């Protein structure tokens, strides 16, 4: 890990922002983030508010790496990204897709609480209709199904020629059982693991037990670009780099990871800045022609001021940074 800077240095360059969402996403209407300015540029610390300090400390490690270290050298100058479709009604699908310039892959959220499988099917059907037969369509259940429900859901959704299903079930053991059930029933949908990688004590266990065909990796939850590269190498499976609903600062780190992977066969889930009503950068990290280029995001001072979180949230995030810094100082947060 990057040498741990003194906590006062991190706090002195910290800005806490609140970014309203265009559409409710992952249960979030307003995304909060703490941005850190360091000698290498800007880093982001934005674990979701419900995460405990031990897990959140990995996100701080990633932010420190971005602000204080040098990312691994890229082997490509740009990466292709997918459109992201929240759990909206089918009538809103064209509006959402219009925000993702040139993307030929879409990730569709399914298994939303309060919605039905019929809702999921209608949404995926609308995406397939809007994008055409040549596009790639993948779904993300965020571990929301049990094995029986996932089997039935993928039986129905396979009609729309899914690229893969991301984290259909919550546990590694369930993913193994699901892959067996799909094969037994002749359902051809590859499985990708996300939470089973980024929230696991042992992220390589997915590959060791044969629980997935693809691994989804996110810079912040894995502790930084260098740490995520090590996870991909250890898993030995095709990788997709995805966003953790980051600002442009965090997206730039995701692009740095995707650009450094030895091989990259799938579009990455890094085109999510368009889900915000406003971003911290004057030139938000949004795809052009379905691509994001390698570089560093620089927040705009006036925008940081305009998006500054309320005083109580400023204190909450700064206190959280201090606690997570202590976790890192005490040893590995994983």
Catalytic residues, which ones?
109, 218
The answer for residues whose C-beta is within 8 angstroms of residue 179's C-beta and 6 or more apart is 191, 210, 211, 212
Binding residues are: 140, 166, 194
The three-state (H, E, C) secondary structure of the chain, written as one string: CCCCCCHHHHHHCEEEEEEEEEEEECCEEEEEEEEEEECCEEEEECCCCCCCHHHHHHHHHHHHHHHHCCCCCCCCCEEEECEEECCCCHHHHHHHHCCCCCCCEEEEECCCCCCCHHHHHHHHHHHHHHHCCCCEEEEECCCCECHHHHHHHHHHHHHHCEEEEECCECCHHHHHHHHHHHHHCCCCCCEEECHHHHCCCCCCHHHHCCCCCEEEECHHHHCCHHHHHHHHHHHCCCEEEECCCCCHHHHHHHHHHHHHCCCCCCCEECCCHHHECCCCECCCCCCECCEEECCCCCECHHHHHHCECCHHHHHHHHHHHHHHHHHHHHCCCC
Binding residues for Mg(2+) are: 140, 166, 194
Q: How many CA atoms, within 13 angstroms, populate the side-chain half-sphere of residue 92? A: 12
């Amino acid at each position: 890990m990057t040498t741990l800077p003194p906590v006062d240095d991190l706090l002195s360059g910290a800005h806490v922002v609140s970014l309203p969402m265009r559409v409710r996403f992952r249960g979030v209407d307003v995304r909060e983030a703490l941005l850190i300015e360091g000698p290498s540029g800007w880093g982001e610390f934005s674990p979701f508010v419900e995460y405990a300090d031990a897990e959140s400390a990995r996100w701080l490690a990633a932010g420190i790496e971005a602000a204080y270290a040098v990312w691994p050298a890229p082997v490509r100058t740009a990466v292709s990204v997918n459109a992201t479709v929240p759990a909206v009604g089918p009538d809103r699908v064209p509006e959402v897709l219009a925000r993702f310039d040139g993307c030929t892959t879409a990730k569709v959220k399914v298994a939303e609480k309060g919605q039905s499988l019929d809702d999921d099917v209608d949404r995926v059907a609308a995406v397939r209709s809007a994008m055409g037969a040549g596009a790639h369509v993948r779904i993300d259940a965020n571990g929301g199904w049990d094995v029986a429900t996932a089997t039935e859901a993928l039986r129905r959704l396979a009609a729309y020629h899914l690229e893969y299903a991301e984290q259909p079930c919550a546990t590694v053991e369930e993913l193994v059982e699901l892959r067996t059930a799909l094969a037994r029933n002749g359902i051809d949908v590859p499985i990708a693991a996300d939470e089973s990688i980024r929230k696991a004590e042992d992220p390589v266990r997915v590959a060791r037990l044969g629980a997935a065909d693809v691994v989804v990796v996110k810079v912040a939850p894995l502790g930084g670009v260098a740490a995520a590269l090590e996870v991909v190498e250890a898993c030995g499976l095709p990788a997709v780099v995805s966003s953790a609903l980051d600002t442009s600062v965090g997206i730039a780190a995701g692009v740095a990871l995707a650009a450094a992977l030895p091989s990259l066969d799938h579009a990455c889930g890094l085109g999510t800045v368009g889900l915000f009503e406003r971003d911290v950068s004057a030139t938000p990290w949004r795809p052009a022609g379905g691509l994001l280029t390698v570089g560093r995001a620089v927040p705009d001072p006036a925008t940081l001021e305009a998006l500054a979180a309320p005083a109580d949230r400023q204190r909450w995030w700064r206190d959280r940074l201090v606690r997570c810094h202590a976790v890192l100082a005490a040893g590995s947060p994983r």
